[in-house]
Structure 1
Amino acid sequence: MNRYLETSTYIDFDDPGVAGKAAELARSAGNEEELVRSCFLFVRDEIRHSWDFQLNPVTCKASHVLRHATGYCYAKSHLLAALLRANGIPTGLCYQRLSVNDGGPPYCLHGLNAVFLHNHGWYRIDARGNRPGICAEFHPPREALAFSIREREERDLPEIWPEPLPEVIGVLERYRDVALVFHNLPDIPLLG
């Protein structure tokens, strides 16, 4: 579990702002699930999704997401991982492969988290941000993700990564405008 508790370049909970916000969110929590819910709701509801709100700058590191209060799903998952890891909760990164236009190519990755809850084991949560037609919630052990898999080329990728995928980092660091990110969303080829 140590890999899912470490600080890193992109999950930088050693940043004073991230550490302070993690401590603030922990103060109101009476137990593990309340703490995870508090962090989840903060990132889902208070950090605006870059594309939904057409907000720059493009963020990647957890500390930058917190500072600018905006990020794509991937960046928001980095912040949620940082807040939870700062509070000693093992947290990883997960991805779905989804149709960009809800019906065939092109496809892209969607970023979310898996958190280890003592009463439930690994549990996926999606702090992407709600809007009409998208409603992600925290109701363990039942998952309530932003998107469901609806077609043959879409996938729930089973891995729980301790660090963001290079394809994701490459896009977020290469493009400085939310529209450029949207037109170059990361994807990975399906094997087999």
Structure 2
Amino acid sequence: MELIQQNPDISAYLAVSEVIDHDHPLILATAERLYVDHADAYSYAEAAFEFVRDTIPHSADTGDMRVTWRASDVLGQRTGICYAKSVAYVALLRARGIPAGLCYQRLADDDGSNPVIHGLAAVKLPDAGEWARQDPRGNKPGVDARFSVGEERLAWAVRPGFGEVDYPVVHEEPHPAVLAVLRAATDRPHLWRTLPTAL
């Protein structure tokens, strides 16, 4: 899938913000630990992906009621949904000077009902050319997302016949609709009731 860079200035995909706070000591320390054994950009991006995918559980899988949305909180509390885990991954990439952004899919049940927006990350590695989408959501039975800059290895492939959509834009910050529901949620059940269904 061809991704569209929303902001023509690549430095926007390296910027620090309230959400992607990769100047936070916890993110910097985590990035430094990963970098020690993974000094080139490709291996670092893969190590950071596996770190977020495998060591920060998806809160729906564990029953965790907390809602995180700031990258440093995701790492500090070790929990988050797809949006939050993608933000944490983007922060770890930016901490090492690797341009990264956020992407989204619209997914649905097998009958096309209950649509929901799913969050992904995108990375632009040196010499790779194009953006590559990654899904650090976390694996479980039936989900086997892998780091890849060639063929995508996401948790889910969209099914257009079910009303599912791959949104092609790479956002430098979380989509406003996504960030609004994360910030407003009092707990994960509240978040589940208010998740956006389209962008």
Are residues 1:180 and 2:184 paired? no
Q: In the aligned structure 2, how far is the partner of 1:187 from the partner of 1:151?
A: 15
Residue 120 (structure 2) pairs with residue 112 (structure 1): yes
One-letter amino acid of the counterpart of residue 165, structure 1: H
What is the aligned partner in structure 2 of residue 124 from structure 1? Answer: 133
Q: Measure how far apart 1:30 and its partner are.
A: 3.4
Runs of 5+ consecutive residues of structure 2 not aligned to the other structure: 1-9
What are the within-5 Å matches in structure 2 for residues 8-157 of structure 1?
A: 8-99=17-108, 101-120=109-128, 121-152=130-161, 153-157=163-167
TM-score of the aligned structures, taking structure 1 as reference length: 0.94
For the 8 Å contact 1:51–1:182, the answer to whether it is kept is: no
* Greater mean alpha carbon deviation, residues 1-10 or residues 147-156: 147-156
Which residue is equivalent to 1:159? 169
Q: Check the 8 A contact 1:167/1:187 in 2, yes or no.
A: no
In 2, the alpha carbon distance for the partners of 1:65 and 1:26 equals: 19
Question: Distance between the aligned counterparts of 2:181 and 2:111, measured in 1?
Answer: 23
1:13–1:19 Cα contact (<8 Å) kept? yes
TM-score normalized with structure 2 length: 0.91
Distance 2:89 2:180 in 1: 20
Higher strand share: 1
Structure 1 runs (4+) greater than 4 angstroms displaced: none
Alpha-carbon distance in 2 for matches of 1:103, 1:22: 42
Report the number of matched residues: 188
* Percent identity of equivalent pairs: 43
Q: Aligned equivalents of 2:14 and 2:111: distance in 1?
A: 37
Query: Which ranges in structure 1 are unaligned for 5 or more consecutive residues?
Result: none
RMSD, aligned α-carbons: 1.1
Structure 2 letter corresponding to 1:87:
R
Q: Which moved more, 1:78-87 or 1:117-126?
A: 117-126
